[in-house]
Structure formats: structure tokens, C-alpha cells
Amino acid sequence: MLNRLRSSPVLARVVPFAAFALLTILQGRWGDASQYWVYSLKVLIGAGLLWLLRPYIRELEWKLSWEAAVAGTAVFLIWIGLEGHYRIIFARPGTYNPERTYGSGSPIAFAFLAVRLLGSSVIVPPLEEIFYRSFLYRYLIKPDFLKIPLGRFEWKAFLITGVVFGIGHYEWLPGILCGFAYQGLVCRKKRMGDAISAHAVTNLLLGSWIIAHKAYFFW
């Protein structure tokens, strides 16, 4: 299986994201506490797949430019600023709250919050950016996607990728704007590293804000 992942540019970019998404569906299926253990498991699996496949995804890199920092911060502000000003299509479960399960100030609750913050800030950005920016965007332009430069701009692919990215989140409107911002970074900088860093900045700020304000409905 690993050899197939390494030899297929499509599988190398799709399987890590698909595995992470599948485990997301399984969170909480075996009781309230299971969601925290399943999330921890998918962080480990996601990290492992990224580590194993990193030599075969040449565009996988982190580049923290000033544009990435600004874009990441702006998306965070948009994300929380739009809350309550648009209609949510699907009801948010808002279940990831280990303080409710284990008690406020509990070491176990603190550990699971730390895992969530780490996972969303370090593992999720490269997983999602590899799938959306490296694979999906370029595949929509041409199935032989490796022949498409990362910086190439195409309106159709830009809009579709942004919308698909957005509806993958309960907060679909800021999600779509977020997708446009990250894709714009890739097209502007002609590399994926800035989008990964911007995504990480957004998720770190958002996760820290969620924990500080106990706004767990975002998770």
C-alpha cells in the first residue's frame, strides 16, 4: 500500500486527506469521550502519512512570508467576525469540549485541548493544502495536474476549489473566503508553502480564541 502511495501522485495527495476526513466522521461514534481519542488518533495518522510521503510531494514546505501572516490573521478575523451574520446550512454539533466531559481545569481536558490545537495548527494545514491547492485546483485545470504550475490562475478552478473548501466547514461563508485567500497566495507566490503557513496562523489564532473564550461550538 505504501509503495502505491509513493508511486501515485494522486494517491499521495488524496489519501492522507481522505483518511483524516474518514476519522472525523467516526469521532464520537462510541460515546462522548471517544471523539477526543479518535481526534488524537487521526492527528498521529495524519502526521505519520505526511512524514512518510514528504519526499514524494515536492511542493510540501512551510514559507512564512509577511503575506502569509497577514492573510492568516485576516481570515481569523473574518471567521469570528462573520459569526451570527449568515445562516448555517448544517447544524454544528459543537461537541469537542473536553472541559465538559472531564471538568474545567482537568489535566485530561487540558491535554485533549492541546492535542486539538496542535492538530489544527500543524497537521491540518499541510493535509488540506496538499489536497485542495496541490491536487484539486490543478486537477480541475488538467487531469495530468503535475504539468500545471502552482502559480497558474484559472477562474473556474479558483471558484470551484474555494467553494468546495468552504462547504467542507460548518462555517461555509468564511470557509469559502478562506479558500479564496489561500489559493490567491499560491497563485501570487507560485508556491504552496505560504498557504500552509497562512492556514496554520489562522487555525492557531482561532483555536487559541476558542479555548480562551470557551467558544467550543466552532469545533
The confidence score (pLDDT) of residue 32 equals 87
The confidence score (pLDDT) of residue 74 equals 98
For residue range 39-48, what is the model confidence (pLDDT) as tens digits?
999 999 999 9
Give the count of beta carbons closer than 10 Å to the beta carbon of residue 107.
9
Cα separation, 174 vs 136, in Å, equals 20
Mean pLDDT of the 8-18 span:
96
pTM recorded for the entire structure: 0.95
Confidence check: pLDDT of 29 > 90 = no
The confidence score (pLDDT) of residue 126 equals 98
Mean pLDDT of the 104-113 span:
96
For residue range 74-94, what is the model confidence (pLDDT) as tens digits?
999 999 999 999 988 877 776
Dig out the grid coordinates for 82 from the structure: 462573520
Confidence check: pLDDT of 5 > 80 = no
Give the count of beta carbons closer than 10 Å to the beta carbon of residue 31.
9
- Helix/strand/coil (H/E/C) assignment for every residue in the chain: CHHHHHHCHHHHHHHHHHHHHHHHHHCCECECCHHHHHHHHHHHHHHHHHHHHHHHCCCCCCCCCHHHHHHHHHHHHHHHHCCCCCCCCCCCCCCCCHHHHHCCCCHHHHHHHHHHHHHHHHHHHHHHHHHHHHHHHHHHHCCCHHHCCCCCCCHHHHHHHHHHHHHCCCCHHHHHHHHHHHHHHHHHHCCCHHHHHHHHHHHHHHHHHHHHHCCHHHC
Sorted by sequence, the CB contacts under 8 Å of residue 13 that are 6+ apart come out as 57, 130, 131, 134, 135
For residue range 118-172, what is the model confidence (pLDDT) as tens digits?
999 999 999 999 999 999 999 999 999 999 999 999 999 999 999 999 999 999 9
Q: Where are the domains of the chain?
A: 61-218
Let me know: does 181 contact 202? Beta carbons within 8 Å.
no
The confidence score (pLDDT) of residue 89 equals 81
Confidence of residue 1 (pLDDT cuts 50, 70, 90): confident
The confidence score (pLDDT) of residue 93 equals 73
Dig out the grid coordinates for 39 from the structure: 481526534
The sign of the CA dihedral 164, 22, 84, 117 is negative
Confidence check: pLDDT of 17 > 80 = yes
For residue range 171-212, what is the model confidence (pLDDT) as tens digits?
999 999 999 999 999 999 999 999 999 999 999 999 999 999
The confidence score (pLDDT) of residue 4 equals 82
Confidence of residue 7 (pLDDT cuts 50, 70, 90): confident
Average pLDDT across the chain, whole number = 95
